[in-house]
């Protein structure tokens, strides 16, 4: 019987942003739902970490972008303490990527451009939802959706002033790849002046 081929070792010389782009593209072909889903961790004023799933909406050399209500819990925490950690987990590929870095808000033009691409229902929802605030019942939300639907019944829906995006500028990127007997492969890239310092880690 022929033994299955071992997965190729990760080449530490590969640019981490290029590798992430390749892995994200592979996930797009293999993951059944939301290959761009990622966990975002922030920290509250009390030092308690907070974690939630969001969707990556942009990625380039400047960093990783997602959008949210700025007055939500994550929005408030990221503005007060502008650092975040991200985690991508692609179960079908047995891979994960961890990112840590400083956070900055995208400019208005970039937020407007993305908001214009959203489905109209999602645009209305951005106005209707007072995200992370107590909700008396589903009817209260549906009532607000109806009210804003009437307000913006004609023409384009403008972006709410409380809705925008955050960009996580990576300071570290770690790639994890499943290997037999839990001897997994881990490579971490740390940003330095002029490039990245790369280190292999014990699993």
User: Is 79 labeled as catalytic in the residue annotation?
Assistant: no
Paired residues of 176 in beta bridges? 96, 186
Strands (E), the chain: 37-43, 49-55, 58-60, 63-69, 83-90, 95-105, 163-177, 185-192, 195-201
Task: Please give the sequence-ordered ranges of beta strands (E in DSSP) within 78-202, or none if there are none.
Answer: 83-90, 95-105, 163-177, 185-192, 195-201
| Selected catalytic residue, list 73, 94, 182, 200 | 182
**CA–CA distances in Å: residue 131 to residues 27, 135, 163:** 30, 9, 10
**How buried is residue 124: exposed, middle or buried, by Cβ count under 10 Å (0-12/13-18/19+)?**
buried
Residues 74-113 as b/e (b if ≥16 CB within 10 A, e otherwise) read bbbbbeeebbbbbbbbbeebebbbbbbbebebbeeebbee
What residues act catalytically? Answer: 182
């Amino acid at each position: 019987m022929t033994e299955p081929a071992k997965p190729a070792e990760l080449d530490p010389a590969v640019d981490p942003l290029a590798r992430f782009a390749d892995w994200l593209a592979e996930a797009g072909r293999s993951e059944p739902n939301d290959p761009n889903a990622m966990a975002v961790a922030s920290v509250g004023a009390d030092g308690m970490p907070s974690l939630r799933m969001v969707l990556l909406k942009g990625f380039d050399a400047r960093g990783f972008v997602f959008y949210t209500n700025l007055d939500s819990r994550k929005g408030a925490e990221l503005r007060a303490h502008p650092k975040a950690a991200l985690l991508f987990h692609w179960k079908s590929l047995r891979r994960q990527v961890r990112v840590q870095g400083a956070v900055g808000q995208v400019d208005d033009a970039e937020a407007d451009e993305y908001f214009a691409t959203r489905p109209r229902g999602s645009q209305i929802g951005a106005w209707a939802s007072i995200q992370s605030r107590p909700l008396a019942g589903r009817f209260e939300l549906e009532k607000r959706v109806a009210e804003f639907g009437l307000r913006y019944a004609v023409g384009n829906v403008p972006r709410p002033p409380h809705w925008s995006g955050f960009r996580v500028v990576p300071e570290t990127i770690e790639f994890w790849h499943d290997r037999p007997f839990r001897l997994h492969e881990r490579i971490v890239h740390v940003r330095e002046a002029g490039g990245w310092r790369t280190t292999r880690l014990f699993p």
